[in-house]
Amino acid sequence: MHEILCAKTLCLGIKLFEVSAPLIAKKAEAGEFVILRVDEKGERIPLTIVDWSRAKGTITIVFQEVGRSTKKLGRLKEGDMIQNLVGPLGNPLENRFYGTTVCVAGGVGIGAIFPIARAYRASGNKVITIIGARNKDLLFFEEELKAMSDELYITTDDGSKGTKGFVTDVLGNLLQSLRVDLVYAVGPVLMMKTVAEVTKPYGIKTIASLNPIMIDGTGMCGSCRVIVGGRMRFTCVDGPDFDAHEVDFENLLARNRRFLEEEALAMKDDPN
C-alpha cells in the first residue's frame, strides 16, 4: 500500500499525486515509469515518474482522467492508499551533452517532459521546450518548465494562449532558423508521428517516448509491442524511448484502438 501525500488538480481533468514510495524513489531516473493498481480489482495503469525525492522517499505522477480506471484513481484524496505500485520500469533517458535539444510535449505529456528537460539541462544542453494543448485551460507546468528551459514556447489549438496552432508548427519554424541536435517528443501518438515527419528531412536525431497499452511491464504479456525499424519491440523493457524515425506509428495507432468498445462499456457500467 502506498499513501498519497499530496493530491492536486493541475487543470481540467489532469491531476498530480505525490506518493510515498521510498524504494522506487531511491532508484528513479528520468524517462522511467511505474505501473499501479488503485485497488485489488483495479486495472494496471502505466504512468511516467514526473519527479521524485530520494530524501522524502516520494515519487510524483501526473495523469489524465480519461477512462474508468483513471477516473477511479482521480477520486482518491490525500491520505488515501494506492493498492500496488511497481517500478521504476523501463529504461532511463539516454542523457548526455548533445548541444541544442528541443523537448516537445502535448496534452498530459507536458508532465512527462519535465524530468527530460531537467536532465538535458543538467548535462549542459541548451533546452528549448515546446508545449501544446487544445486550449489554455488544459495547460500546466508552465513555470516549472520555464525554469528548466532556455526558451519555452506555448501553443494552443484555438489560440487562447501562446501561438495558435500546433507544437509542430513552432518546431518547423525553429528548424528553419536554428541548428538543433536532438528532438525529444512525448504526448499523443499523432503528435509524435508529425514531429518525426517534421524532423526527418533535416536528419535530426528524434526520440519518441511511447506509452501503448501495457499490462505487466516486464515483457511477458506482449501487449505493449511496437514495430521499430521493422522489428517487434516491447515498450516496457526495450523502451519507452525509441528512434521516432523508425517507429511504425500507424501500427501503434491501430493497436491503441483495440479496446475502444470495451472501454466505452466500462465507462457505461461505472457506478460513479
Q: Are the beta carbons of 112 and 239 closer than 8 angstroms?
A: no
Phi and psi torsions of 214, nearest 5°: -140, 145
Per-residue confidence (pLDDT) for residue 268, from 0 to 100: 63
pLDDT digits (tens, 9 = 90+) for 105-130: 999 999 999 999 999 999 999 999 99
Q: Please identify which residue in the block is written with the cell numbers 501503434.
A: 252
CATH number, span 93-206: 3.40.50.80
Phi and psi torsions of 55, nearest 5°: -65, -45
**Of the CATH numbers 3.40.50.300, 2.40.30.10, 3.40.50.360, 3.20.20.140, which one belongs to the domain with range 2-89?**
2.40.30.10
Q: Are the beta carbons of 116 and 183 closer than 8 angstroms?
A: no
Phi and psi torsions of 119, nearest 5°: -65, -45
pLDDT digits (tens, 9 = 90+) for 192-216: 999 999 999 999 999 999 988 888 7
Which residues, 6 or more positions from 173, have their beta carbon under 8 angstroms from its beta carbon?
none
pTM for this prediction: 0.93
Of residues 2 and 256, more confidently modeled: 2
In percent, the amount of the chain with pLDDT more than 90 equals 81
Per-residue confidence (pLDDT) for residue 71, from 0 to 100: 92
For the chain, the structural domain boundaries read 2-89, 93-206, 210-272
Per-residue confidence (pLDDT) for residue 133, from 0 to 100: 96
CA distance 17 to 3: 10
Per-residue confidence (pLDDT) for residue 262, from 0 to 100: 58
Confidence of residue 69 (pLDDT cuts 50, 70, 90): confident
| Span 74-84, average pLDDT | 94
pLDDT digits (tens, 9 = 90+) for 130-187: 999 999 999 999 999 999 999 999 999 999 999 999 999 999 999 999 999 999 999 9
Q: Is the pLDDT of residue 25 over 70?
A: yes
Per-residue confidence (pLDDT) for residue 214, from 0 to 100: 82
DSSP per position, 10-33 = EETTEEEEEEE-HHHHHH--TT-E
Judged on CB neighbours under 10 Å (0-12, 13-18, 19+), 266 is middle
HSE (CB half, 13 Å, CA atoms) of 159?
1
